[in-house]
Chains A and B, each alone.
Chain A
Amino acid sequence: MRETSRLRVLGTTGIALALALFLGACKQDYPNTTFVPHSEYGREIDFLWDRLLLLGTIVFVLIEGALIYVMIRYRRRETDERPPQTHGNVIIEVIWTLIPAFILLFIAIPTVRTIFTTQAKVAAGALQIEVIGHQWWWEFRYPEYGVTTANEIYLPVGRTVNFKLNSNDVIHSFWIPQLGGKRDVVTNRTNYIWLTPDSTMQPSVWNGFCAEYCGASHAKMKFRVFTVKPDQFASWVEHQRGPAVFGATASTGAAGTATTPAGGQPRESGVTSAGGAAPAVPRPPGSTIPGADTVAAPAPNAVLAGNRQPAAGSPGYIYPREQLPEYAKPHTPIPGNVTFTKGLTGNAARGQQVYSSAACIGCHTIAGNPMSVGNVGPNLTHFGSRSTIGAGSFPNSPAYLALWIKNARAMKPDILMPTLGKNEYDPVLKTRVTTGGLDDQQIADIVAYLSSLK
């Protein structure tokens, strides 16, 4: 019959296509693949996956094969006789109840074993990293080194790392596909996940994601993981634990034309506080969550930094920018209505003054800058050493940074960081920044300052 032969062709094509897709998926041009794990934890999962895939494929082929056979063999023929009216067969039914149960044993036993090995207490001497989820960025703390950073983690290969997961607001989920499974970051709870990056790896960068829907910019809550040699890690830590090297100047590249922002007619709104010295914070999650309530309490590492000499001159190890693979570089297009004056040059020293008297300090900490002790937003102490801004949304280059400071809310939906540029339209407050906004030169200066914080 026509239908059955078509089904046969379709089935064959489908299986061939699936196989081709699968083989394709094993190649390494899939930068976030779970099939090529780079930690023992990832391999434990992958072992289970391989077995599930093998058994699943066998079951799939047998069932679909039997189905196709039955359809062809028992299709209605010209001699349309009434078929035997069988109602069942106890022995057969018992057999095909037992077969799946038997197959499941081969999944159940290694599953339970793996649950207990991967959730065992972490071995002593593991590197502790505190992960704090925020809408929509990641805060990482290395308590034994007094380092706080954002949206980037450096890990030494071969050393077990134990992530301690907490959330500052809603539920997030911490996921580095190439290094292992995910773990939810749950408010008012502490979760742990530990893994050991393979010691044989060359320095590499992996993408990390938030996997639990957490609001408007869930898609833009990414992070980068750098697995580096132990000595490179030591160098990175040594530098990160002190205040930034500061003093050089940087120029702000052109990020657009000097045209008026295309956000529509300027509005003569009565709201004047937007973008002023006190940024409007629309989403106070309550007063008992650590890190969310006060902007006055000094961050721990700011205190710590006071006792430490700046690591003069030599910025420690940073994963080389020019070696960043394509998958680790953001390609998000810039929204059309955010533009910046061409050819402005920023002055870092001036930038530090502007920064220290602007809204920035209400939310950000920069060790070594006594004014800047806010802890609502990411710690910016070594901002210049980071590869992205906006939790993996844009490359950390002066051009993007200028636009970001000018109107972050137009670049990433619904975020807490206010629109700061003068006359910019704030899409959250739905009003223009009329007073207290920063002009492009001031922003260029801040960009120079922040970029110099290696």
Chain B
Amino acid sequence: MATTAAPARPTIHPTYEPGKSGVWAWLTTVDHKRIGMLYLMTALSFFVVGGIEAVIIRIQLQAPNQHVVSAEFYNQLFTMHGTTMIFLVIMPLSAAFFNFLIPLQIGARDVAFPRLNAFSYWVYLFGGLFITLPIFFQVAPNGGWFGYAPLTTRPYSPGINIDFWVMGLQILGISSLAAAFNFITTIINLRAPGMTLMRMPMFTWMSFVVQFLLILAFPVITIALVFLLFDRFFGTQFYEVAAGADPLLWQHLFWIFGHPEVYILVLPAFGLVSEVLPTYSRKPLFGYPVMVYSGILIGVLGFGVWAHHMFAVGMGAIADSFFALATMLIGIPTGVKIFNWMATMAQGSIRFTTSMKFAIGLVALFTIGGISGVMHSSPPADLQQTDSYFIVAHFHYVLFGGSIMGIFAGIYHYVPKMTGRLMDEKLGNWHFWLTFIGMNLTFFPMHFAGMLGMPRRIYTYDSGQGWDTFNLMSSIGSYILVVASVIFFHNFFRSRKRGEIAGPNPWHAGTLEWSLPSPVPEYNFATVPTVTSRYPLWEGSEVDLESARINSQEGKTAADLGIILPYPTIKPLIVAAGIIVMFTGLITTKVLVFLGAAIIVGSLYSWLLSPLEPEHH
């Protein structure tokens, strides 16, 4: 019964009490859903910036010997394209879903630390601006997203460019770490009665794994960056080759972070797809326990394969063999996921909504990225592939074909829950097909360019090298992706005002978040649900359905229900601003360092002494 649609409603009932809709309300919000939407909007804005950077790169490489942009600016563009898409787009898009979905999926009223959650967002926003703005003045970071020392040390990069990168990543790391601890605490402590770990929706599970990857991987990059920061500002010699440093120190540290980072980027998308595929196949996820274990296994193995990024540096035969075999092992749980997704669809009743198409797109395209991944798990073969366009093709199939496709599937699936309105399916169809075609046209030819000898990160190439056609194809593909993205943004903003009213469960999904009104009231659950099944709305007992019935009622305010909500507060934003001021001081005047520190200490003190919420009576 719960799988039938609620009839479309004429209006959206107010979810927020009057006076909570202005700019100030957004600046001071501690509501996980609003913070999730802030993440979403900010990350989509950075997606535009990173996309423009990519298109300029493709314009430059469309034909041989072009000089649309200078070598120096090109190097800034590819550095910032990678940095932006990884740290400012895919990670925060995932964070948007962590924020919005995890409490709803586990039956909680908010995350464990609502103010820390707001703090994470503001640090991300300010850190993102800090690292992005220099490109508009042509002083952006230019050492690649991997920032290999010694190129990034002061003697070889004397300018301010790398400073923005080192400090920007450091700032963004604060945001990710704070958020990760918050979500781990939330998932462990705030699950509704009956929501055992093995009943958690797969998205929450994959997010759970990702938070552990974050807290284990980010300290490593933090250390690596602290070394570099100290080298650049205070004269230490961790990476100073003139003082005898071994450049492999940076590479090992960076990739011990960098490889788990790949799974940080892709596991949330896997989680989203694991929600989308069962919904539109009308079948539970096939092999749920194996999906959980394979996700954990991918996360664990992900820490033991970092040096496969370094097969060319000369580690010796033993290390090469070890990291080759470990890398191949990761193919097994990843393959299992793909098989289980297909088994979920098999025997189902598949409805090809836009969301479903993007999810199937992930299965189809990530498979290609996985196969090419196995191809360079073999070190001798990798020596022809690494640092060529073959690698560029590979990781775009993983990150675009995997992460981005999965996130789009999630956006089409969950925007109705966020805003109460559906996105248009016809425009969505155009968006999907243009993305699918454009994506393959852009990235598939890069396999060939790479195996035909084209190195990565070159700002131009000579004619007569046999690469012209492939580059032209890639450039045309990227222009198609621009058109696709324009359609997406049009659809996205159009739906806010003119989209069809969604109702609580427009897709007849089975998990807890679909028992709530759309948009979700500020307090989430009028009554904390009791859970007896993985899909309470599909196969739940009377208890599940009773909580769903109560929770789907609209129009009640928190005050009506006697639910106590945390106070809104501006203090997390001020602390975040203090961090930015402090780092800015390092590249301008040292006074700002002390000013920033004073802001941090003062506002933290005030934050920690002010109560989270009104006293309970």
Contacts and interface: CB of A to CB of B under 8 A. Distances in A.
Interface of A: 1, 3-4, 6, 10, 14, 18, 21-22, 25, 29-35, 44-45, 48-49, 52-53, 56, 59-60, 63-64, 66-67, 70-71, 73-77, 80-89, 92-93, 96-97, 99-101, 104, 107-108, 111-112, 114-116, 118-119, 135, 169-171, 173, 175, 177-178, 180-184, 186-189, 191-192, 207, 209-219, 282-289, 326-327, 329-333, 413-414
B452 A181 contact: no
Given A60-B368, A104-B332, A184 B360 contact: no
Interface in B404-427: none
A86 B242 contact: no
A75 B287 contact: no
A216 B348 contact: no
18 contacts: A48-B381, A52-B381, A56-B372, A85-B538, A88-B340, A93-B340, A107-B377, A170-B148, A175-B387, A177-B453, A178-B453, A186-B314, A191-B314, A212-B387, A219-B458, A285-B242, A286-B241, A289-B241
Nearest 4 pairs between A and B by C-beta?
Answer: A286-B242, A181-B383, A32-B453, A219-B458
A188 B251 CA distance: 14
A48 B380 contact: yes
A48 B378 contact: yes
Given A31-B464, A74-B350, A219-B459, 20 more contacts: A10-B436, A30-B452, A31-B453, A32-B466, A56-B371, A60-B367, A64-B364, A74-B346, A83-B347, A83-B348, A97-B332, A97-B335, A108-B324, A171-B148, A177-B384, A188-B246, A214-B151, A286-B242, A288-B243, A331-B64
Nearest to B78: A213
B451 A183 contact: no
A181 B372 CA distance: 17
Nearest to A101: B332
Interface of B: 3, 64-65, 67, 70-72, 75, 144, 148, 150-151, 155-156, 158, 240-248, 281-284, 286-290, 312-314, 316-317, 320-321, 324-325, 328-329, 331-332, 335-336, 338-340, 342-343, 345-352, 357, 360, 363-364, 367-368, 371-372, 374-375, 377-384, 386-388, 429, 433, 436-437, 440, 444-445, 448, 451-466, 538-539
Given A29-B466, A219-B71, A86 B312 contact: no
A63 B338 contact: yes
Nearest to A222: B462
Contacts of B448: 21-22, 25
Residue of B243, B286, B451, B462 with most chain A CB atoms under a 10 A cut-off: B462
Contacts of B433: 6
A116 B317 contact: yes
A289 B367 CA distance: 46
Given A31-B464, A34-B451, A285-B156, A87 B384 contact: no
A414 B76 CA distance: 14
Nearest to A82: B282
A211 to B, nearest CB: 4
A211 B388 CA distance: 7
B332 A331 contact: no
Contacts of B339: 93, 96
A83 B281 contact: yes
Contact of B241 (A116, A180, A188): A188
A216 B325 CA distance: 36
A52 B374 contact: yes
Given A107-B374, A211-B388, A414-B72, A88 B288 contact: yes
Given A286-B155, A286-B243, A25 B324 contact: no
B463 A331 contact: yes
Nearest to B432: A3
Contacts of B372: 56
B65 to A, nearest CB: 6
A99 to B, nearest CB: 8
A275 B3 CA distance: 79
Residue of A63, A81, A116, A414 with most chain B CB atoms under a 10 A cut-off: A63
Contacts of A211: 312, 386-388, 455-456
A173 B387 contact: yes
A240 B386 CA distance: 34
B367 A184 contact: no
A106 B461 CA distance: 37
Contact of B156 (A25, A67, A215, A288): A215
B452 A67 contact: no
Contacts of A101: 332
Contact of A97 (B242, B247, B336, B347): B336
A3 B347 CA distance: 19
A6 B538 CA distance: 32
A85 B539 contact: yes
B357 A3 contact: yes
Given A86-B347, A88-B287, A170-B156, A119 B317 contact: yes
Given A56-B374, A286-B240, A76 B351 contact: yes
Contacts of A76: 349-351
A30 B465 CA distance: 6
Nearest to A29: B466
Contacts of A329: 464
Nearest to B368: A60
Nearest to B470: A21
B466 A33 contact: yes
B456 A96 contact: no
A288 to B, nearest CB: 6
B336 A93 contact: yes
Given A115-B380, A181-B384, A34 B452 contact: yes
Contacts of B460: 219
A314 B209 CA distance: 71
A284 B155 contact: yes
A215 B459 CA distance: 11
Contacts of B350: 70-71, 74-76
Residue of A84, A169, A282 with most chain B CB atoms under a 10 A cut-off: A169
A327 B349 CA distance: 55
Contacts of B347: 74, 83-84, 86
Contact of A213 (B284, B312, B364, B457): B457
Contacts of B67: 333
A66 B320 CA distance: 34
Nearest to B457: A213
A115 B242 CA distance: 32
B457 A104 contact: no
Given A32-B466, A114-B380, A116-B317, A171 B287 contact: no
A97 B244 CA distance: 47
Contacts of A73: 346
B333 to A, nearest CB: 8
Nearest to B74: A219
A327 B374 contact: no
A187 B452 contact: no
Residue of B241, B289, B316, B325 with most chain A CB atoms under a 10 A cut-off: B241
Contacts of B466: 29-33, 327
